[in-house]
A and B are shown apart, each in its own frame.
Chain A
């Protein structure tokens, strides 16, 4: 005999909402990078306005989590799922904000010729997307090992950020006319690096749901 079917369905619905929010954020990150690479202002504007939808989704997830806590008094794994889910949605929302920040850089650079072809930045974006997808997969399966595996990708992202930073520093030193764009691109690298950190935070929440233990995946 199952005793909490309605509650289980609500928990599943909450997980589904978080999963869908994650997929949407992953898409936004991809589009933000494309807008920068091909200097597409229209697309950049779409990413910026689309962020509101992500914020709404997060608010919805928060509201639902609070209601479940108030009405169902969840404990043990149920409680961990709800509290960690709440935090995962928060991290995803921040990644969404950073995607919008990248789109804003696209608009600031405008149609000015790029000081260098973008190679590492799209690669970082691809890795962030990979982290989000793998993280969502680990979340759906409540799999701590997969969450830890996903978090390892952050090292590659950090490495690429270091590379971009050093490279753009050379531009800054050598040619003052490049200051604006080089600074913007360093910022984009930094945004992507932060996204990787948020993904490792998501990994930590998944480990917590699965095991009840706190872990640091960003060391």
Chain B
């Protein structure tokens, strides 16, 4: 089952430049939460803080609290945390020298799982959950790079799911895909929320409207508005949100 995230007074910097200012946000479990906002508003930084990826960059730092089901992520082991909070990036990034099968189980192997039958079972389960199994079950030994862009992205989702996270962070997972592959990913997200908590950064407003239960609008490092998607897209509270989502920004 997915776990909830509570973000309290989160701040982040790149060097001396502050990119997030005092974010407070509740992310409920088994919900899809979309993060929207113009380029440079801090939305990617925000999700990268949630699994402590942000602090791995030179000169980057963060302050505040992020609680995963009530437990502070800064007190947790980073490797364990990233197993629990998986991430899918904008550009599908399968390991190029690995087969489809090895890509899916790469995280498990790193975690020391060696039992072949167990690895096979988890690979199948993960590929099924990522809605890719039927397309690749006959060619698991082929290179991950032999797949189409949309399939590669689902392979990366399968890889993230294989380590059984409770939260899945997605940073524009469909922005490089064609409309049909995008819809596949969106369908998948809607199914995955039954078992995972999903936070998705998207530039595509209609995508947020289609799949997210709640939507958060970031601007200049500030969380302007966060609420049910149905309200945000019919009657936003803040004029800046309205201007942005209706395309009249600036």
Contacts and interface: CB of A to CB of B under 8 A. Distances in A.
Interface of A: 1-4, 7, 73-80, 211-213
Contact of B246 (A76, A211, A212): A76
Contact of A1 (B242, B246, B250): B250
Q: Give 9 nearest A-B pairs by CB, closest first.
A: A212-B235, A75-B233, A76-B242, A4-B247, A1-B250, A76-B246, A78-B246, A75-B245, A76-B236
B205 A75 contact: yes
Interface string B206-250: 100100000000000000000000000111100001100111111
Contact of A3 (B205, B206, B245, B250): B250
8 contacts: A3-B247, A75-B233, A76-B234, A76-B236, A79-B233, A211-B235, A212-B235, A213-B235
Contacts of A211: 235
B245 A76 contact: yes
Contacts of A78: 246
A4 B245 contact: no
Which one of A75, A211, A212 has the greatest number of beta carbons of chain B within 10 Å? A75
A4 B209 CA distance: 20
A4 B246 contact: yes
A79 B233 CA distance: 9
Contacts of B245: 75-76
A3 B234 contact: no
A77 B241 CA distance: 11
Contacts of B241: 76
Contacts of A75: 205, 209, 233-234, 245-246
B246 A80 contact: no
Interface residues of B, number: 15
Interface of B: 205-206, 209, 233-236, 241-242, 245-250
Given A212-B234, A212-B235, A77 B246 contact: yes
A77 B248 CA distance: 12
A3 B245 CA distance: 12
A212 B238 CA distance: 13
Given A1-B250, A76-B242, A213-B235, 8 more contacts: A3-B247, A3-B249, A3-B250, A4-B246, A75-B205, A75-B234, A75-B246, A76-B233
A7 B235 CA distance: 19
A80 B242 CA distance: 12
Contacts of A79: 233-234
A4 B205 contact: no
Given A79-B234, A80-B235, A73 B206 contact: yes
A130 B239 CA distance: 34
B182 to A, nearest CB: 15
B250 A80 contact: no
A77 B242 contact: yes
A52 B249 CA distance: 42
A1 B249 CA distance: 8
Contacts of A4: 246-248
B249 A76 contact: no
A73 B210 CA distance: 12
Contacts of A76: 233-236, 241-242, 245-246
Contact of B248 (A2, A73, A213): A2
A79 B245 CA distance: 11
Nearest to B232: A76
Nearest to B247: A4
A52 to B, nearest CB: 35
B40 to A, nearest CB: 16
A73 B209 CA distance: 11
